[in-house]
Amino acid sequence: MIKHVFAGFLGDINRTEAERWYFRFHSKEVVRFFGPWLRRYETFRACAPPADAERFGARNGYLTELWYDSIEDFVETDPNNRPYTPLAISRTGTRPRPPAITIVPAMPTEDFLGKEPTPEEKTILRWYCVFKYPDGASIDDGEKWYLEMHSQEVKQQPGLLKYVSHRAVDNPPIRTPWLRVSELWYEDFDSWHRANIESPPQYTPPPWDASEPFVDMVSIFVRYKPDVDFLKDSPPIP
């Protein structure tokens, strides 16, 4: 099973305007076009990121995941040749930044902590990070650094509740530079700040010249459960 991921979707325009188009037109068209193949179609409204998260490519907007049984099912839907209703930007006059889009296995390819809290135990803030290695950096060198060194240091963060990663599928049927989706859970923004700003572990730099976070990244903060399940819910339209 795979997930088609959109991180930072509609992050740069007025929320009411974005939701009106998203809930009234786009989501209904996606269900009509892809419904027979979709296993899940969920969207999470971003929690407003703190200023300290800007260097991690933090975005507002939405995290959306579309789940399919297989790459073959995704290809069969022919997603690039559908008559979508266009988004008209009346307030800003400019197009929003594109979200980070990739396709990953539904289950993590790595679980660095091997544990997952439940929402009954404590509140959960999910930090969803989509990243690639910088231009000129070898993917093999990047993967070796991330899996053998960086992830092992990240998992020492104080207050980290869960840490998993999904390596993007090989030869994806869409054009995308994004190689990985990593997800880190904290109890709240105070816990995130302590773990990443106040008292982070000492990180070993990668073999390329870069400052933290060392990779090209788009990230988004969301809660435990989706705000809308488009296969089940009928969200109010602004």
At 177 the pLDDT is: 96
What does the domain layout of the chain look like in residue ranges? 2-229
Q: Which regions of 88-233 does DSSP assign to beta strands (E)?
A: 100-105, 110-111, 125-132, 162-167, 180-186, 216-222, 228-229
Q: In the predicted model, is pLDDT for residue 199 greater than 90?
A: yes
pTM: 0.93
DSSP assignments along 125-152, one per residue? EEEEEEEEPPTTS-HHHHHHHIIIIIHH
C-beta neighbour count of 93 within 10 angstroms: 6
Residue 188: strand, helix, or coil:
coil
Architecture of domain 2-229: 2-Layer Sandwich (3.30)
Task: Classify the phi-psi angles of 17: left when phi > 0, otherwise alpha if psi is within -120 to 50, otherwise beta.
Answer: alpha
- The answer to whether 189 and 97 have CB atoms below 8 angstroms apart is no
Q: In the predicted model, is pLDDT for residue 237 greater than 90?
A: no
Which residues sit opposite 89 in a β-bridge?
none
In this prediction, residues 121-139 reach a mean pLDDT of: 95
